[in-house]
């Protein structure tokens, strides 16, 4: 019995859990002229670059702009960011579930 417990403990300690990074980040940036499309584009690029280079501790492979709003002179954005493992997890969440017909069962109450 002790050998079995030791073997199980060794297996648990030797295996490492899979890790995936999937984060939603909200940030804002000042916009000089909210009616100027060029200024909005530049502000958006600057905000995304700032998040990717300053706010994350992993290298993203997926960046999705999920929301953008202008309030006053600021552009507020929300980004979904993931690494390659997180991207796979995100794609699995977006895929429709596989429906396989179950074996017919009879339930009697």
User: Measured between alpha carbons, how far is residue 23 from residues 14, 29, 81 in Å?
Assistant: 28, 19, 5
Residue 64 placed within a domain: yes
The alpha helices in 15-100, defined as continuous H runs, are 37-50, 84-94
The stretch 17-28 carries a mean pLDDT of: 81
Within a domain: residue 51?
yes
For residues 16-47, one letter each, b for 16 or more C-beta atoms within 10 angstroms of the residue's C-beta and e for the rest, the string is eeeeebbbebeeebebeeeeeeeebeebbeeb
pLDDT value of residue 90: 73
| Residue 7: inside a domain | no
Residues shown for the chain: 109
Its domain, for residue 49, covers 28-94
Residue 55 lies in a domain: yes
Residue 16 lies in a domain: no
pTM recorded for the entire structure? 0.64
More confident residue, 13 or 81: 81
CA distance 16 to 18: 7
Residue 58 reports pLDDT greater than 90: no
Q: What is the mean pLDDT of residues 95-99?
A: 63
For residue 17, tell me if it sits in a domain: no
* 29 and 47 Cβ atoms separated by less than 8 Å: yes
The total domain count for the chain is: 1
> Is 5 among the domain residues?
no
pLDDT tens digits, residue range 99-108? 666 666 665 6
pLDDT digits (tens, 9 = 90+) for 37-47: 988 899 899 99
């Amino acid at each position: 019995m002790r050998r079995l417990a030791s073997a199980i403990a060794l297996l648990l300690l030797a295996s490492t859990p899979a890790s995936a990074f999937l984060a939603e980040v909200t940030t804002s940036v000042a916009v000089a002229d909210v009616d100027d499309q060029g200024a909005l584009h530049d502000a958006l690029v600057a905000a995304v670059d700032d998040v990717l280079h300053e706010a994350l501790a992993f290298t993203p492979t997926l960046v999705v702009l999920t929301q953008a709003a202008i309030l006053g002179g600021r552009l507020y954005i929300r980004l979904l960011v993931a690494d390659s493992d997180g991207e796979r997890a995100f794609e699995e969440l977006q895929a429709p579930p596989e429906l396989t017909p179950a074996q017919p069962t009879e339930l009697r109450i």
